[in-house]
């Protein structure tokens, strides 16, 4: 089985989904400082989450890096990080496609704060993790698949 | 009020790296207890970090951030001895603020 190819296929379908979302043009910006974005955190699918975050059209970018283990033995504590070299990044979000609610955390970065955050998240099952970054008013994404070992064997 | 956060802030070459370890259950609201009743969601929703009076990071968390959340980030500036303050708020209205000096 060619794992690389499978990953590409998956991320390909994700991008198509985003395209549809952008084309629909029913997106309103909703990120307000110090006001928890309930709609975004309650959203179940990736598409609904992005809509609630006010994201209109994303581009896959090599300049956004998602870091994390290839295989997580314990889905309750999965270290993930997002870093990017893109200019003027004002927002970073971490989304986990197959969790009950896709959005795990979002960060607003004022000027002077580097686009480099690390945290730990829970994952219910093997899933793609998406890093969403807002640079110069445009949205960029990157993805990484993390496999979660559910059994306790650590295999 | 929760237990104190562990905050480390270190300046290197003009960039301050902040690492925060918060003590919080981060209950998702999906889990059931031994009697089969759903354990209500209880998690941090907002966390704000400041350097002096300047906000350096605003974050919003969902319940899928791990128990006892860890967060690391970097900002430009900051000098030894200056204060970094971190505050969080959870969905039950609880909150806590702790501060640490930059090393």
How confident is the model at residue A35, as a pLDDT? 72
B75-103 mean pLDDT: 95
pLDDT per position as a tens digit, A92-150:
999 999 999 999 999 999 999 999 999 999 999 999 999 999 999 999 999 999 999 86
- pLDDT recorded at residue A24: 39
Beta strands in A31-126 (DSSP E): 58-60, 64-67, 71-72, 78-84, 89-96, 103-108, 116-121
Note whether A113 contacts B62, CB cutoff 8 Å. no
Phi/psi at A93 (nearest 5 deg)?
A: -135, 150
B46 in Cβ contact with B91 (< 8 Å):
no
Q: How many CA atoms lie within 13 A of A77 on its CB side?
A: 6
Is B35 inside a domain boundary? yes
- Spatial neighbors of A70 by CB under 8 A, at least 6 apart, are A145, A146, A147
Whole-number pLDDT of residue B42: 95
**A29 pLDDT more than 80:** no
Measure the CA–CA gap between B77 and A142, rounded to whole angstroms.
Answer: 28
Please tell me the predicted confidence (pLDDT) of residue A15. Answer: 45
Residue whose tokens read 């559910």: A150
The residue to which tokens 């104190």 are assigned: B4
* Higher per-residue pLDDT: A30 or A67: A67
Q: State which residues form the domain around B56.
A: 6-101
pLDDT number for residue A34 = 47
**B4 secondary structure, DSSP code:** P
Chain centroid offset of residue A50 CA: 9
* Cβ atoms B10, B103 nearer than 8 A: yes
In this prediction, what percent of chain B has a pLDDT beyond 70?
Answer: 99
Q: What is the pTM of this model?
A: 0.82
For A34, other C-beta atoms within 10 Å of its C-beta total 11
pLDDT at position A6: 55
Whether residue A122 and residue B66 make contact (CB cut-off 8 A), yes or no, is yes
pLDDT > 60? residue A22: no
* Structural domain count of chain B: 1
Asked if A106 and A117 count as a contact pair (C-beta separation under 8 A), the reply is no
Contact criterion met (CB < 8 Å) for B56 and A112:
yes
What's the pLDDT score for residue A31?
35
| Domains of chain A in sequence order | 3-148 (2.60.40.2470)
Instruction: Give residue B83's pLDDT.
Output: 96
DSSP structure string for B57-97: EEEEE-TTBPSS-EEEEEEE---TT-EEEEEEEETTS-EEE
| Predicted ipTM of the assembly | 0.93
Asked if the structure places residue B75 within a domain, the reply is: yes
Choose the mutation target among A48, A112, A118 for the interface with B, i.e. most B CBs under 10 Å.
A112
Tens-place pLDDT, residues A54-84: 888 899 999 999 999 999 989 999 999 999 9
User: Is the model more confident about A28 or about B60?
Assistant: B60
The answer, for A33 touching chain B at a CB cutoff of 8 Å, is yes
* Percent helix, strand and coil across chain A, each to the nearest 5: 20, 35, 40
How many Cβ contacts (< 8 angstroms) between chains A and B? 99
CATH number of the domain enclosing B52 = 2.60.40.10
* Residue among B15, B19, B31, B34 at smallest CA distance from A120: B19
């Amino acid at each position: 089985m060619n794992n690389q190819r499978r990953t590409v296929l998956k991320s390909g379908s994700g991008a198509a989904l985003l395209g549809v979302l952008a084309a629909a043009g029913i997106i309103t910006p909703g990120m307000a400082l110090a006001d928890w974005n309930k709609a975004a955190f309650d959203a179940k699918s990736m598409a609904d989450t992005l809509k609630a975050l006010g994201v209109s059209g994303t581009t896959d970018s090599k300049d956004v890096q998602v870091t994390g283990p290839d295989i997580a033995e314990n889905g309750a504590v999965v270290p993930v990080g997002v870093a990017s070299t893109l200019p003027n990044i004002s927002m970073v979000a971490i989304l986990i496609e197959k969790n009950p609610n896709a959005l795990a955390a979002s960060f607003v970065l004022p000027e002077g704060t580097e686009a480099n955050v690390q945290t730990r998240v829970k994952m219910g099952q093997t899933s793609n993790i998406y890093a969403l970054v807002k640079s110069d008013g445009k949205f960029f994404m990157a993805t990484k698949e993390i496999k979660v070992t559910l059994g306790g064997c650590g295999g | 009020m929760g237990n104190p956060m562990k905050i480390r802030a270190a300046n290197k070459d003009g960039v301050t790296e902040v690492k925060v370890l918060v003590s919080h259950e981060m209950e998702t609201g999906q889990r059931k207890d031994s009697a089969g009743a759903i354990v209500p969601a209880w998690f941090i929703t907002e966390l704000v970090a400041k350097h002096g009076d300047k906000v350096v990071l605003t974050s919003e968390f969902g319940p899928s951030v791990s128990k006892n959340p860890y967060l690391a980030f970097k900002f430009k500036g900051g000098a030894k001895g200056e204060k970094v303050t971190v505050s969080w708020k959870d969905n039950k209205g609880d909150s806590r603020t702790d501060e640490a000096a930059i090393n």
